[in-house]
A = this chain, B = another copy of it.
């Protein structure tokens, strides 16, 4: 099965069933945690940060009489940018979020060329750009600045590792604190690093 971007479409379906399942806060995906965090940031006027919709290539659409248009054939496209962006106190925020089951490293295959190029462009324009990496096994979530990613990314094409060791992420990244309302409280890290 070809999932662009390693994303299972079942996530979409989870989204739709969210209201049914969200009474239990345990076992939430990183995406769900970040979406809830962003909703909290928005409602408390802290920041305006949204997940971009999943890019879909629409091939066939039906127009039944007196009802909504139905997409009958479509395909998942690979994202050309990161998944999340927005504004926090005048500053442009841009990030990608990835969860790994790997215990000892973060495989670079989780990210794509286009996304790294995008992150480089954002850094050049002076944006705050980073990865949010969750190690499911360790139950730890890290803020990893994009500028730190680029050397790991480039070295893989020169015989270097195809992953970032867990220890490096612990050393270079910043652990994102958890709170009940902001389950992945990444603005705390941004406050510390950029303000």
Residues of A in contact with B (beta carbons under 8 Å apart) = 1-3, 9, 12-13, 16, 42, 45, 47-48, 50, 52-59, 61, 63, 67-77, 80-81, 85-92, 94, 118, 121-122, 124-127
The one of B2, B16, B58, B71 that contacts A68, using a Cβ cutoff of 8 Å:
B2
The one of B3, B56, B81, B86 that contacts A56, using a Cβ cutoff of 8 Å:
B56
B76 touches A69 (CB 8 A): yes
Interface CB pairs A-B, < 8 A, 14:
A13-B58, A16-B57, A16-B59, A45-B121, A48-B125, A48-B127, A54-B58, A56-B71, A68-B76, A71-B71, A72-B72, A74-B74, A85-B86, A86-B92
B52 touches A54 (CB 8 A): no
Chain B residues with CB below 8 A from A55, complex form: 53
A126 touches B70 (CB 8 A): no
With the chains together, A190 CA to B85 CA distance in Å?
20
Chain B residues with CB below 8 A from A91, complex form: 90, 92
- Tell which of A3, A13, A56, A88 has the most Cβ of chain B within 10 Å: A56
The one of B3, B59, B70, B75 that contacts A75, using a Cβ cutoff of 8 Å:
B70
Q: How far is the CB of A94 from chain B (nearest CB, A)?
A: 7
B52 touches A122 (CB 8 A): no
- Tell which of A48, A52, A70, A81 has the most Cβ of chain B within 10 Å: A48
With the chains together, A118 CA to B48 CA distance in Å?
8
The one of B48, B75, B80 that contacts A71, using a Cβ cutoff of 8 Å:
B75
B75 touches A9 (CB 8 A): no
B52 touches A9 (CB 8 A): no
B47 touches A74 (CB 8 A): no
With the chains together, A74 CA to B62 CA distance in Å?
10
A92 touches B81 (CB 8 A): no
